[in-house]
Structure formats: C-alpha cells, structure tokens
Amino acid sequence: MQTALLVRSPGPAPRPAQTRRIGTLLLTLVAGLAAADPARCGEAPADGRTPNIVLVYIDDMGYADVGPFGAKGYATPNIDRMAKEGRLFTDFYVVQAVCSASRAGLLTGCYNVRVGIQGALAHRAMHGISAGEMTLAELVKQKGYATACYGKWHLGHHPKFLPTSHGFDEYFGLPYSNDMWPLHPTAGKNFPDLPLFEGTRVVNPKLDDADQDQLTTQYTERAVKFIEKHKDRPFFVYLAHSMVHVPLHVSDRFRGKSERGLFGDVVMELDWSVGQVLDTLRKNGLDKHTLVIFTSDNGPWLSFGDHAGSAGPLREGKGTMFDGGCREPTIMWWPGKVPAGTVCRTPAMTIDILPTVAHLVGARLPDHPIDGRNIWPLIAGEPGAKGPHEAYYFYWDNQLQAVRMDQWKLHFPHGYPTLGGRPGGKGGLPAPYEQAKIGLALFDLEKDPGETTNVADEHPDVVAKIKVLADRMRADLGDSATGQKGSGVREPGRLEPGDLHFDWQPGRPNQTVPTPLPAPTAKAKK
Ligand SMILES: [Ca+2]
C-alpha cells in the first residue's frame, strides 16, 4: 500500500498490476458511457438514483457475537437473514480497538493516527474531529444526501465537533461511551452525569438506568422514521449503537429472553433493530437501492466476563491489536448488487468504506491524503477481485504494533493487556488485566487464526518484506516505539477561545446550553 499517496479525485494512482484492468475499464467507459453499470464506474445511474447507505456500527461487539459468526445461547434471526441475503466479510478490521480511534478511521477513511484522534474521548477532552477532515456524511452531502447519526458519536462533545457540524442533518444520541457517568463500576467519581443530545442541544442532562434501557429502541425508531421520511431521495444513516458496551441495558421486551443472560438479551435487541431497519427498507421498496453495512467498532471487553462478548477463535479482545481486538463480524447487504449467501475472506478495513461510498455515489474524495481504497469489487464479489492494499497497519496509540499482509500478520515487540487465562468479571464488574509482552512474531492467519504459533523463523522473506512496508508507514505516520515522527500526521480539531463548549464537571449538574470558552488568563497560560 502506498500510504503517502496524495489521494485526489477520482482516486489513488493505480499500482502496476491494476493498470491494465483500469485501462480496460476506461475504454469501456469511453465506448459506452450510457450503458455502463453505475455501481462499477461511480457515475449516476440512468434513473439518477445512487444508493442509500445505512451503516450499523455496534459498540464492543466480539467476532463471535452474532449467528453467522458462531454466537451461542441466543438467536439473531434478522442478522442471520441479512447474511443469507448478503455477503460476510471474515477478515474485516477496524483501525484501532478502542472507541474514538475506531470511529475516526471509519468516518474519515484514514488511520486514526493520521487524523490525530486516539483512545476514548471523555468530558475533559478539548479536542475532536477536525473541520479539515471530510467525513462520510460530508462526502455524500456533495450529492445532496439526507444524513443522520443516531447513537454514540465519540469524536468530540463540544458543538463544533458534534455530528451536525460534520455533515449530519440530524443527531440523536450520546456524545461518548455509556459508562462515562457516575455509575462507572470503578471510576464513577471522575465522571459528571451522562447527557443525551438532539443536534447540539442537551435534551436529557442526566441519564439513569431506565433511560439507558431505552437507547437501542430510541435509536432504532429514529432510524426507521428517517428512512420513511426520506424514501424519495438518497440518504445516509449512521446507526451507531451504544450497546453492547457496558453497562449493558435492554428494554423489557428482551429482558430475560436469552440463555446467555443480559449480554444475550442485549444482542437480541440489536438483532431486532437490524430487522426493523431491513424491514423498513423492504416495505418502502428501498432494498434494491440501499447498501447496508453491519460491523463493530472493536472486539469484546473481555475483563467484563459475562457482560462481554466473545472473540471466538481469535486472540484477546478490545484494547489489543490481536485479531480479537480489531477484526469484526461484518456483513454487506444490497439485494441484487451484493451476491447473496457469499463470503469474502480478503482482508478489508473500515478505512475503505469512505472511498467505496465515494465510488458508488460519484462523489469527490478529499484533497488531502486518505488511507482507504475502493473495495466495491470485493463487496460485489467480482470474479478475481483482489484487495487494493498491499498491507494493513495496526497502531495502538502511536505505536505500530502489527502489520497484516495477505494471510500473514507480523507483530513488532509490544505490550498488551490480558486476563492471562483468568476468567473475566461478573454482573458488570471488571476483572483486572495484567500486562504481557510479545516479541517479534509472525502468524499465518489462514492456518492459525488464533495467533498462537510464531512462524517468523520459517518465513524470513515474509518478515523482511513486511519490515520494508512498516518502515515506509513509519515515515508517513510515525512510530512511538522507534521514536519516529510521521510526516503525514494531521492535527485534530481543537477548542479555541470563543468556541461554544460544555463545561461538565463531576459532582455538579450538567450545563445543557453551551457557553463560549473564555480566553486563558495569564496565570493559566503559565
Ligand atoms: Ca468500543
């Protein structure tokens, strides 16, 4: 992958292997523009209708938490049907196995390191997504799409960072994680009340348990209503559920319904939500005009034991860049365009969604470099389709921890949190992690998806090749392990004096109306 490419519309320079195919495609276009398949060339179709996009982003869902990926103890009939009518992606990654970082990658088409968003932003954060980035919503806005975000945002909670400042017409949901409140199991005294937003207004400054029980229902009802309201024009819905992040909450309709306890109940309600969305599309005749993507922001938070999901055969979970942390259960659905009941085993990543959508709706990519590439040939199951990247890069914070190339994953020496074989916590309380270390290790994920057996000594050529790619990436995005600064890293957005902001503090009622940030005093400047 040529990570430092200046990606300008209509896309990155082709690699030599792709040149002939693209040349053929161009000839086809010149010869018969009117007859060309719009989904292939990114041009508006004959009826002027480009696809709607619905993106379902679950929080902290493990690889094996839904039926098509092996869930046990509860049923997910709607997600099962989605898989039967759509295409599973078995090797689909997020950029980093933690909430804000993951969402930054999803919505900008860039590694989060490039756009300066790390970790999980809380109420003290004075930064958020930069106005200079082009979000997925801003991208489809070029084509007049109606846009909505329902659920968890987590890219900054001050007005200039909220969804309605970044291309979304509507926003209803939580500004960050649902455990960032006084009822946090270990750090409650550090958090103010948890607020709920509508647009840039706080509509509930202090959620309680009963309010959290209603979140999945409310997000879903909003999404359904939005789809029905905009059925005659193109739309993009980003449905970013707060569940299955702890604390787990579910409505009475699903409480006690699964054999897997509260966790199973919560997934069953998310499955209901997916069913509501797909049924609404079918009922309104939009199923043949809508790409629906289902995935999760990171793997299971294993320290929460019976309140966490399962990564199935994959190693570790959230907070690590083993596959259990960053490889997500992913399904693509678009009847008539995405081949039903099929499986794609080629690696792909959330960064690829933005350029793929740009291709589908005929939108211009941002002028600044992005990391993602169009993966429509993989989604459409085109014969012989290949992944557009030479490799994917796995940072934790600013440390390059691993690289995936074909079936290989090379870890560079790094530390990581683990339960070390101990059971997780119970009833919503976490068990403590311990820190472990891994040295240079090469895994063959085709034979060894659990990253158990280091085969670096048997494949020195693979190790050498990945090291060259890693060095190229370090020059671009840096690496805290080697002390390198990346030349391609951009700044996040920062709160400046005069900007509207929310000053929420533990132990006092939340403001519901933002106020301008005062200029720092001389004393504070020191
Ligand atoms: Ca998460």
Q: Across the chain, what does the average pLDDT equal? A: 92
Q: pLDDT tens digit string along 482-499?
A: 999 999 999 999 999 999
Query: What do you get for the CA distance between the two ends of the chain, in Å?
Result: 44
- For residue 279, pLDDT beyond 70: yes
Q: How far is CA 164 from CA 33, 50, 150, 405, in A?
A: 36, 23, 11, 37
pLDDT, residue 2, reads 37
pLDDT, residue 523, reads 66
- For residue 6, pLDDT beyond 60: no
* Cβ contacts of 303 within 8 Å, gap of 6 or more: 417, 419, 424, 425, 430, 431, 432, 433
Report the pLDDT averaged over residues 32-53: 54
Q: pLDDT tens digit string along 213-227?
A: 999 999 999 999 999
- For residue 502, pLDDT beyond 50: yes
- pLDDT band for position 521 (cuts 50, 70, 90): confident
Give CA angle at 233 (231, 237), nearest 5°: 70
Q: pLDDT tens digit string along 385-400?
A: 999 999 999 999 999 9
Task: Measure 154 CA to ligand 1 centroid, in angstroms.
Answer: 10
- 177 against 49, higher pLDDT: 177
- pLDDT band for position 519 (cuts 50, 70, 90): very high
pLDDT, residue 168, reads 98
pLDDT, residue 47, reads 58
Give me the helices (H) in 234-371, please. Answer: 261-283, 323-326, 353-361
From the number of C-beta atoms within 10 Å of its C-beta (0-12, 13-18, 19+), residue 437 rates as: exposed
Task: Measure 57 CA to ligand 1 centroid, in angstroms.
Answer: 10
Q: Is 166 a catalytic residue?
A: no
Report the pLDDT averaged over residues 87-95: 98
Q: Considering only CA atoms, which of 188, 150, 147, 151 is closest in space to residue 166? A: 147
Q: pLDDT tens digit string along 424-462?
A: 999 999 999 999 999 999 999 999 999 999 999 999 999
**Catalytic residue of the set 123, 154, 359, 389:** 154
**Catalytic residue of the set 99, 110, 149, 344:** 99
pLDDT, residue 14, reads 36
pTM: 0.91
Q: Is 154 a catalytic residue?
A: yes
- For residue 30, pLDDT beyond 70: no
- For residue 524, pLDDT beyond 80: no
What letters, b where the CB count within 10 A reaches 16 and e where it falls short, cover 238-257?
bbbbbbbbbbbbbbeebeee
- pLDDT band for position 423 (cuts 50, 70, 90): very high
CATH top-level class for 394-485? alpha beta
Report the pLDDT averaged over residues 295-317: 98
Name the residue ranges covered by the structural domains of the chain.
52-386, 394-485
- Distance between CA atoms of residues 193 and 206, nearest Å: 5
Report the pLDDT averaged over residues 244-270: 97
Tokens linked to 366:
């941002």
DSSP state of 135: -
- For residue 28, pLDDT beyond 70: no
Task: Measure 38 CA to ligand 1 centroid, in angstroms.
Answer: 35
- 374 against 23, higher pLDDT: 374
Q: pLDDT tens digit string along 169-180?
A: 999 999 999 999
* Cβ contacts of 309 within 8 Å, gap of 6 or more: 60, 61, 62, 64, 65, 244, 263, 267, 299, 300
Task: Measure 28 CA to ligand 1 centroid, in angstroms.
Answer: 43
Task: Measure 110 CA to ligand 1 centroid, in angstroms.
Answer: 18
Report strand pairing: 399-405 vs 493-494.
unpaired
CATH top-level class for 52-386? alpha beta
Task: Measure 96 CA to ligand 1 centroid, in angstroms.
Answer: 10
- pLDDT band for position 49 (cuts 50, 70, 90): confident
Task: Measure 345 CA to ligand 1 centroid, in angstroms.
Answer: 24
pLDDT, residue 520, reads 87
Task: Measure 380 CA to ligand 1 centroid, in angstroms.
Answer: 28
Q: pLDDT tens digit string along 363-384?
A: 999 999 999 999 999 999 999 9
pLDDT, residue 97, reads 98
Q: pLDDT tens digit string along 108-128?
A: 999 999 999 999 999 999 999
